[in-house]
Amino acid sequence: MLLLFNGDVEGERKKFRDKLLQTEQQLAAAKGREHALQQQLLKEVNVNQERFKKQLESHANLEVCNPNASFFLSFVF
């Protein structure tokens, strides 16, 4: 009778350990995906900042060339 009980306990421990390892692997994978998404978002933000900076420079250059152009550009942007 004691052997059956010990066997059941060991079986439950193995199931728990397997589930714990599986959960840890899933967590590591989720962290990897999160990191990749953060890197992608950072790259997109940098690209958009650079594009916005170029648009501002272009707008400033147009204002210097033609002061009346700022009225028109306010409707475009």
CA distance 60 to 74: 12
Per the listing, tokens 């959960």 go with: 23
Which domain, by its residues, includes 51?
Answer: 2-76
Q: Please check the confidence at residue 53 and state whether its pLDDT lies above 70.
A: yes
Cβ atoms of 59 and 77 within 8 Å: the answer is yes
Number of domains in the chain: 1
**pLDDT-above-70 percentage for the chain:** 74
Report yes or no on whether pTM surpasses 0.85. no
Amino acid at 74: S
Torsion angle in degrees (nearest 10) through CA of 47, 51, 53, 56: -160
Q: Please check the confidence at residue 76 and state whether its pLDDT lies above 60.
A: no
